[in-house]
Amino acid sequence: MLLTKHLKNVDSEPEMLTTRSNSSGSLKDSSDSDVHQQLIKEIDLRLKHPLEHTWTLWYLENDRTKAWEEMQNEITSFDMVEDFWSLYNHIKPPSEIKIGSDYSLFKKGILPMWEDDANKFGGRWVITLSRNCKQELDKLWLDVILILIGEAFEHTDEVCGAVINIRGKSNKISIWTTNGHNELAVMKIGHKLRDLLTLPPHNLHYQLHKDSMSKQGSLIKAVYSV
């Protein structure tokens, strides 16, 4: 995927800049410490590639002794391509986390729950996967993350985040949007997802959060499909 290459093949050219800065005698003087710190920040920005938004990764580990909100653990936030890859390479892939657990990636300030102000009138595009497809699961989750942080959607302001649910019978990946009644934006996001993920037709289903909250039984009706 082109997006993967764009986010992964990043330049790390100016090693020479760091060397020059550290070799300067004036930077070692404590009286110039503020200048030193500012220079380090400027060099760091030149070395790294900023994302459009800051994103927060959450991990939920199922524990029946805790309330649902207490099971959510905020791991860290990132706003640079390189910081994302550093994080991703140091955590377990979804296929290796416990059954009943979730990973959630949301724009900073949005909680991975239906009741959050950014989510309560929204919904989610849902992809259901077999428990046997571990390699496919990990690849699909990474592709979804790259699509999100790479701002691949025309209506990127409608996108809140994504969740992967690891369950006993099947796994789910869902992409959350802020307004479930904005049919134009929702459908464009769904079609873009299907195209970028090369999914077969009718494999993506959009559910409103209000229907998920009031569901009777295990089935939730889909309001859109692509």
- Say how far apart CA 49 and CA 70 lie, in whole Å: 34
CATH fold of 48-225 reads RNA Cap, Translation Initiation Factor Eif4e (3.30.760)
Question: What digits encode the pLDDT tens for the residues 170-224?
Answer: 999 999 999 999 999 999 999 999 999 999 888 899 999 998 887 655 678 899 9
The domains of the chain are located at 48-225
- State the pLDDT at residue 15: 37
Q: Is the pLDDT of residue 13 over 50?
A: no
Summarize the confidence of residues 70-83 as an average pLDDT. 94
**What's the pLDDT tens digit per position in 22-76?**
444 444 455 567 776 776 666 566 678 999 999 999 999 988 888 878 889 999 9
